[in-house]
Amino acid sequence: MKAIVYTKYGSPDVLQVKEVEKPTPKDDEVLIKVHAAEVTKADCEMRSFNFQVKWFWLPLRVALGLIKPKKRVLGGYFAGQVESVGKDVSKFEMGDHVFGTAKLRLGAHGEYVCLPASYTLVAKPHNVSFEEAAAVPLGGLNALHFLRKANIQKGEKVLVNGAGGSIGTFGVQIAKAMGAEVTAVDSTNKEKMLRLIGADYFFDYTKEDFTKSGQTYDVIFSMVAKSSYSECMKVLKPQGRYLLANPRMSDMLRSVMTSKFTDKEVIFVFAGETEEELLTLKEMIEAGKIKSIVDTIYSFEQAAEAHRRVETEQRSGAVVISAGHNSKT
């Protein structure tokens, strides 16, 4: 089978399309023909071994490979069709359209991926393409996880910092679906899209600092690791919740003091990416409450270009690789 492979850490140019052995499902596994898979910031960080959040560098290096990558095929979030199942699998049948996560097993940037049936895999929403479905699990699962933790009430003011990426676009929509007034923070080119998906207000971070605007918020949901912890605390209302999707070690340490000595709460518990959460997202998509935002679709041969697109931070929504795609759209 064809797969996007890397055998050393480095720039997007280390990615190559090669023939690799097609996996065979074990008794408790499913073999999925991948139709589309998201290229995430995590894929880019693993490829380059340059992580935005530094505190878990060493354990990750040991897990992923000290000198060279142990797992040569990246890709954790995808949509596809079940090709075959192990003899102990009753949850899926051949031909089922599914979407979900490969977790740290990775491998979705290939034509096939083999995963335990117990992983977070569910039927694809019937009203979206494979490319649109592949753009859901990363952003949707993380956004839903954090916003549920915040226990958002109708009418509360929610600010989403880094709103134009995979997680942020779902954060805006899910917060809106929960009845919040939503402020989005990102760059100029993303304003139109963010307003279309529900943002009531918008800050262009290249021109204005939202922490200096005089506005206060019940919830701040931030994907931006370099955000100022102290400045965000100042614009958080009493009983406010600060949601950190990319926490620095210093932020985690300061959160202990915040929770102990103030009436504000800091939440950075990582998403479990559960089946129940993915089913909730599926239902919301089929009901028209949320949708995935796909920035660009690339072919396997354009993998390096896809990684560069993610790294520029200019994308609006998700970058997707499609197994049947021959040219960029």
CB 158 within 8 A of CB 221: yes
Task: Look up the CATH number of domain 2-136+292-322.
Answer: 3.90.180.10
**Can you tell me the distance from the alpha carbon of 320 to that of 318, in angstroms, rounded to the nearest whole number?**
6
CB 109 within 8 A of CB 73: yes
Which ranges of 21-121 would DSSP assign to H, the alpha helix? 41-48, 57-64
CB 293 within 8 A of CB 318: yes
Nearest to residue 168, comparing CAs of 313, 11, 5? 313
CATH 3.90.180.10 domain locations along the chain: 2-136+292-322
Q: What is the pTM of this model?
A: 0.93
pLDDT of 68:
86
Q: Write out the chain's pLDDT in tens, 329 residues.
A: 999 999 999 999 999 999 999 999 999 999 999 999 999 999 999 999 887 655 556 666 667 777 788 899 999 999 999 999 999 999 999 999 999 999 989 999 999 999 999 999 999 999 999 999 999 999 999 999 999 999 999 999 999 999 999 999 999 999 999 999 999 999 999 999 999 999 999 999 999 999 999 999 999 999 998 899 999 999 999 999 999 998 888 888 998 889 888 999 999 988 899 999 999 999 999 999 999 999 999 999 999 999 999 999 889 999 999 987 653 33
Q: Where are any strands of DSSP class E within the chain?
A: 2-5, 16-19, 29-39, 77-85, 97-101, 112-116, 121-123, 157-161, 181-186, 201-204, 217-222, 236-244, 265-267, 294-298, 318-322
CATH 3.40.50.720 domain locations along the chain: 138-267
**Can you tell me the distance from the alpha carbon of 20 to that of 36, in angstroms, rounded to the nearest whole number?**
18
pLDDT of 55:
57
Q: Report the relative pairing of strands 157-161 and 181-186 from DSSP bridges.
A: parallel
pLDDT of 54:
54
pLDDT of 248:
85
Task: Look up the CATH number of domain 138-267.
Answer: 3.40.50.720
